[in-house]
Structure 1
Amino acid sequence: MTMLKAEATIPTTSGQSYVAAVCARLAEADFETEAAAGRGRIQLVDGLGTGTLEAGADRLHVRLESRTEQGLSVLKFVLSSQIEEVAAAEKPEVVWTGDGCDVDVLPSLRELTVLRVADVTPQVRRITFTGKDLRRFEGDSLHVRLLFPPAGVHPPEWPKPGKNGRPLWPPEERRPVQRVYTMRRIDAAAGEMDIDFVLHAAPGVASDWAASARAGAVIGVMGPGGREMRPAAHVLLAGDETAIPAMARILERLPAQTSGQALIEVENEAEVQDLSHPAGVTLLWLFRRGREPGRNDLLADAVMAAALPDHDDVVCWLGAEEAIARRIRTYWRDEKGLDRARCMAVGYWKHGLTGDEAA
């Protein structure tokens, strides 16, 4: 398979410290990294791409390789972002040369049109979109970034590639609003993607848009992304309604012999969804019944009460309000002794922000 390649050279006398800082930051974000003596290496999951950083006396040289356009685009974005942040005092100009540097459309961007709308529960609306060339969204990645054009901007204006690999956005008054969502279903052959929206009572760009969406409406989508949960013999999944699409995708892909539990917090029985899952995984629905979302102990107590087997082939995953995710992440790592490879707790939203702005 032909490898796609790109590179950039940044004049600097601080290359060694920048290499160390970039690798440390990306390791903290769960990238696979290596760093030693002014040389660093960043590996994308599943071998999709590699970035190599080499510090010289007066420059920092970065080389990228990937099997896919997507992987190369991700590496450009990630490394230029990190270099520009750690070297902010020098205000470096990162300019990539090589493959993918002569395009005027972001490789990750697609335009989607509403095909149909259906209410799954009183609070969850499923919108089916249609679009061209959605193959990149198939696979294990769950999350996408939806772009909602401002009212009155026709046709929509989307971001374009910058020389540093980061998007160049339209002016503020014509710039689409971004929100991260989970793909509930993707069928690239049919050109379809399902996104489930929680319909908030509080105002929010995405939920307000979904509440009034009609066939023919257009939005943009970028991605996919997100660290995935590795397979294991026993799983513990947990989340509130914002995490149900991700939990549903995970449950559908688990091997038939998997055992474990899925703990799902929703308002009441009307919000229960029919989710496919292995026979050995028990679904437990937790009902708030008026308790404030993100400010109750219902989900956290259930997670901490869940028994985990003694063997090492266990993976735990949670998607919920940010403070709850922090609490459970600490519990799993400090009290249960699970390492990063065996537990992931993700803040899907933040209490105190309105509507989907919390996401």
Structure 2
Amino acid sequence: MTVVFRSLHAYLNIREPPGMRVRCPGPPARWKGNAMFTAIAHVPLSDPLPLIEALAGHLREQDVTLERQGEALRVRLSMGEALFRPAADGVEVEARAPDRSGMEEMVDFIASHLLEFCVTEHPVIRWTGAAEAGTLYADFREMTVAGVERMGDWRRFMLTGTDLARFADPAAPYGRFHFPPEGMAPRWPKAGPDGLPLPVDPAWRPAVRRHAIRTVEPEAGRIELDILLHGGGGAGAEWARWARKGDRCGLSGPETEPAVPALRAAETVTLAGDAAARPVIQRLLEVLRPDARGVVLLEGEGPPLENAPQGMQLRQVPALLPALRETADSGVLWAGAEAGAAREIRLWLAEHPEVDGSVRDLWRRGVSASNANPARDFPAGAKWRPRGQRV
């Protein structure tokens, strides 16, 4: 069964390496068990127990933390927890989270799973205590282009907005950028009464893509975003070609880089990437130990990297895999590249267990903005959306 909801997998159509299971993800871990926000819903169903059992089996396969309390099911995620209790005429659901953003994640998670598993019934879900329908999501920021710098095949955007402190942690270097169609007023994601996003006409719907944020200055209310103008196109590249001072985009997130704990602790580090990986590598250099030693392997041209620890050598290479074979014989490795190249690096890593490696698919050759994520296409005004997509 495919898991599709508000996460980097849903937004970017990112696929894990062969053999890896897609797990039900969440935002940066913040759930400590002391809820500040609570929402409840009664979901009318004729026979709730089979649904709860099916949901438990699915989440168990995803390594989600579960607790059975008689016929009830408690689910614990990084952003909060949910309790499903059978009732005579349906399911009683309670969601708890430490903040509004976490609560939005939880009701999204619950509603999307209930709708997927209610095969023969189409229950109406209405929440008490969740965000008011029609409001922008708590982790969403509208950003305005304050400046554009042309750097060869790159564009550097200075974007201004409010309340950007949550994006400053280099352990969570990614933002989900909402790029509106050219010449159209932005239509930003808003919550529906069931906890899922309100549908938007595809002609107006922003394209949502994950990009690493190069720099964040929360006090000044600005960030820097570097976008590579891929020859094959892409939603971010298309927006970057026409966006000018005063234009707007959206920003939500942030999203963590799972390799950060290992990189922070490592004495020996290898960072490797093609041109598209430069913004990510720039942020990852910030998490390394001051005494970290190793090499940064760079394929392709792009903005220069700054503030690398003294022991990290920067090396331009014609191709990543041959360079990795020569240099990465131990320590911690992070690599980001086009999907085909990333696959080759994973195969090499499988033969070298002495290297603690993480590899990211940053883009896919031959995939343009028009076909990058066909799962995001749903009819305008549809009552059901692919689970949890905030578009």
Q: Which range, TM-score by smaller chain? A: 0.7 to 0.9
Please tell me whether residue 280 in structure 1 is matched to residue 311 in structure 2: yes
Structure 2 equivalent of residue 335 of structure 1: 351
Q: Decide whether the 8 Å contact of 1:200 with 1:355 is kept in 2.
A: no
Do 1:318 and 1:345's aligned partners in 2 also have CA atoms closer than 8 Å?
Answer: yes
In structure 2, what is the Cα distance between the partners aligned to 1:338 and 1:24?
29
Aligned: 1:299 with 2:299: no
Residue 324 of structure 1, CA deviation: 2.8
Provide TM-score, normalisation by structure 1.
0.79
Q: CA deviation at 1:211?
A: 2.5
Provide the residue aligned with 1:6 in structure 2: 39
**1:161-240 alignment runs, 5 A limit:** 161-228=191-258, 229-230=260-261, 231-233=264-266, 234-240=268-274
Distance 1:8 1:21 in 2: 21
Q: Secondary structure at the residue paired with 1:168?
A: coil
Greater displacement, 240-249 / 277-286: 277-286
Residues 1:16 and 2:50 are matched in the alignment? no
Amino acid of the residue matched to residue 169 of structure 1? P
1:160–1:167 contact (8 Å) kept in structure 2: yes
Contact between 2:144 and 2:159, CA under 8 Å: does it hold in 1?
yes
SS at match of 2:252: strand
Correspondence 1:71-220 to 2 at 5 A = 71-88=102-119, 90-91=121-122, 93-101=124-132, 104-119=135-150, 121-139=151-169, 140-154=171-185, 156-220=186-250
What TM-score do the two structures reach when normalised by structure 2? 0.73
User: Structure 1 pair 259/171, CA: closer, same or farther in 2 (3 Å)?
Assistant: same
Contact 1:349 1:358 in 2 (8 A): no
Distance in 2, matches of 1:174 and 1:161, equals: 17
C-alpha offsets along residues 59-109 of structure 1, whole Å, 9 cap, x if unaligned?
555443332322222333344334434555554554443243466222122
2:317 is paired with a residue whose SS is: strand
Q: Which has the higher contact order (CA 8 A, sep 6+)?
A: 2
Q: Specify every segment of 5 or more residues in structure 2 that has no aligned partner in the other structure, as ranges.
A: 1-33, 374-391
Q: How many Å separate the matches in 2 of 1:203 and 1:307?
A: 32
**Are 1:351 and 2:385 matched, yes or no?**
no
Structural RMSD (CA) = 3.0
CA distance in structure 2 between the aligned counterparts of 1:133 and 1:272, rounded to whole angstroms: 27
Shift of 1:345: 1.8
Closer/same/farther in 2, CA of residues 57 and 322 from structure 1, 3 Å limit: farther
Distance 2:370 2:211 in 1: 10
Post-superposition offset of 1:223: 1.8
Query: Partner residue of 2:25?
Result: none
Post-superposition shift, 1:238?
1.9
- How far 1:197 sits from its partner (Å)? 0.6
Q: Measured at CA, do residues 325 and 174 of structure 1 come closer, stay the same or move farther in structure 2, by a change above 3 Å?
A: same
Give the AA of the match of 1:221.
L
What amino acid maps onto 1:158 in structure 2?
W
Identity %: 29
CA distance in 1, matches of 2:97, 2:210: 25
Call closer, same or farther: CA 1:92–1:308 in 2, change over 3 Å: farther
Distance in 2 (CA, whole Å) between partners of 1:158 and 1:272 is 30
Could you tell which deviates more after superposition, 131-140 or 96-105? 96-105
TM superposition outliers: structure 1 runs of 4+ over 4 Å: 57-62, 86-94, 355-359
Q: What is the CA-CA distance between 1:180 and the residue it aligns to?
A: 2.0
**Cα distance 1:337–1:100, how it changes in 2: closer, same or farther (>3 A)?**
farther
Distance 2:336 2:370 in 1: 15
Whole-angstrom CA distance in 1 between matches of 2:57 and 2:297: 40
SS in 2 for 1:348: strand
